[in-house]
Amino acid sequence: MSSKQVKPWKRIAVIGAPVLQTVLSPFNAVLARYAAEKDHWQIVFSSHEITSSAFRVLRELACDGAIVRLTSPEIADEARQLNFPIVNYSSWLAEPGVPTVRRDDRALGRLCAEHLLAKGFRRFGCLRLPGGWYIEARIESFVATLVAAGVDAEIVVLPIRAHPLRQEDRRKFRQWLAALQPPAALFLPDDIDAPEFMDLCRETGRRIPRDIAVVSAYGHAETLRQCLPSLSYAAEDEVTIATRSAEWLDRLMRGRKVVANVVLVPPLGLVAQGSTATVAVDDQEVALAAEFLRNHASEEINVADVARQVSIARVTLERRFRQAMGATLHDYLTRQRVERAKELLKQSPSLPLGQLAQQCGFASRKRLNAVFKQFAGKTPKAWRDDAK
């Protein structure tokens, strides 16, 4: 009777994601779960600090492999001197010189630009924040997307020199806001200092999102909790990045040739929240009407209610709204209700369609089905099944 073959243990180090401490992110959780499921991975060292000394410690640990963040050329040099396979998951360096699995930063910038263009914005501000190569990659992609759409004359790139913000940076940002012609949009290539930038907008009398919409190419849970209104952001796929990093390291430790190339992981999508819940139109009454429709779409309102809200004759509002928005008030309201239904279908897949109709402002389930199919191309049930 043959005995079961025991796999040799692999000693793994992680720098930049403290797996041995409290799990604080999906990335850490994936690595911890991967190690547990493989049953031959033993994480022997993990550190949140990304320093040259942390990498020098690895030389003495007799590790079989490591998953690391390379955030400077000096740290990359230290990492390349290790005598075991490593996988980098950071975007700080354009050419890290080691196997790398990282988010597609250019796609993050493009998503933000497309989101703002779809809302009709034609005037933009972009902050060049301190950081690694990923900042420039996101900015370049954001600007290139706008230029391709023909709005290159209305883009201002404002350099921010330090984090935390210096008084000089605050002063320049306030000056730009004061000269701004609303409606406009602000692009943050990272969410660093996002709450303070949004506070500065309000201090200068700029209303978010009515006067200036704000979107970030990244959104960390702790930062998002501090933003008012809630910050729209492009969401990276941390789970896939962590999974592919672990899988690639596993292959390298089994003897696969080490190739210093980069695998890009596409983002999950744009998470649209309160900071961009608007449309960019110069007609302020039309903008108010659109805002009222978005905020009250789930209620039993009609065109007459909207006209009363903005104090304009119904016929006049309908004409101006169609000119500015390319849609009637009724069609815009209906589309908002359909989008609300999609959100609820994703958040609560088991919600009965009768309740869904009621929560989205439709008179009945039958009316929900008809309108949803008209705008989405399929019934709510079919759309929900596809989403699953």
Per-residue DSSP letters for 6-36? PPPPEEEEEESS-TTS---SHHHHHHHHHHH
In 179-313, alpha helices (H): 194-203, 221-224, 238-253, 284-295, 303-310
**Domain assignment of residue 113, yes or no:** yes
**Domain assignment of residue 124, yes or no:** yes
CA–CA separation, 359 vs 361, rounded Å? 6
Burial letters for 351-381: b for 16+ Cβ neighbours within 10 Å, e otherwise? Answer: eebeebbeebbbeebeebbebbeeebeeebe
**Domain assignment of residue 1, yes or no:** no
Percent of the chain scoring above 70 in pLDDT:
95
Residue whose C-alpha is closest to residue 16's, from 96, 135, 110, 108: 96
CA distances from 297 to 51, 108, 335, 387 (A): 51, 30, 9, 23
Number of structural domains found in the chain: 3
Same-domain check for residues 82 and 122: no
Same-domain check for residues 85 and 118: no
Q: In what order do the strands lie in the sheet with 86-88?
A: 41-47, 10-15, 65-68, 86-88, 100-103, 262-265
Same-domain check for residues 122 and 226: yes
**Domain assignment of residue 353, yes or no:** yes
Residue 327, pLDDT score: 83
Question: pLDDT 10s per residue in the chain (388 long)?
Answer: 444 455 678 999 999 987 866 556 889 889 989 988 887 898 988 888 899 888 988 888 889 999 999 999 999 999 999 999 999 999 999 999 999 999 999 999 999 998 998 888 889 999 999 999 999 999 999 999 999 988 876 788 999 999 899 999 999 999 999 998 899 999 999 999 999 999 999 999 999 998 999 999 999 988 999 999 999 999 999 999 999 999 999 999 988 776 668 999 999 989 989 999 888 888 888 988 988 898 898 888 888 999 999 998 999 999 999 888 878 999 989 988 998 898 888 878 889 999 999 999 998 999 999 999 998 888 999 988 876 6
Same-domain check for residues 90 and 158: no
pTM (2 d.p.)? 0.81
Same-domain check for residues 15 and 33: yes
Residue 61, pLDDT score: 87
**Domain assignment of residue 228, yes or no:** yes
CA–CA separation, 232 vs 235, rounded Å? 9
Report the amino acid identity of residue 148.
Answer: A
Same-domain check for residues 84 and 133: no
Same-domain check for residues 133 and 232: yes
**Domain assignment of residue 4, yes or no:** no
Q: How many residues does the chain have?
A: 388
Same-domain check for residues 62 and 141: no
CATH of the domain at 300: 1.10.10.60
Same-domain check for residues 295 and 339: yes
Same-domain check for residues 303 and 367: yes
Containing domain of residue 371, as a range? 284-387
pLDDT by residue (tens digit) across 222-239?
899 999 999 999 999 999
Same-domain check for residues 87 and 145: no
Same-domain check for residues 245 and 223: no
Burial class (CB in 10 A: 0-12, 13-18, 19+), 123: middle
CATH of the domain at 251: 3.40.50.2300
**Domain assignment of residue 5, yes or no:** no
**Domain assignment of residue 168, yes or no:** yes
Instruction: Name, in order, each residue with C-beta under 8 angstroms of 273's C-beta and a sequence gap of 6 or more.
Output: 229, 230, 231, 232, 233
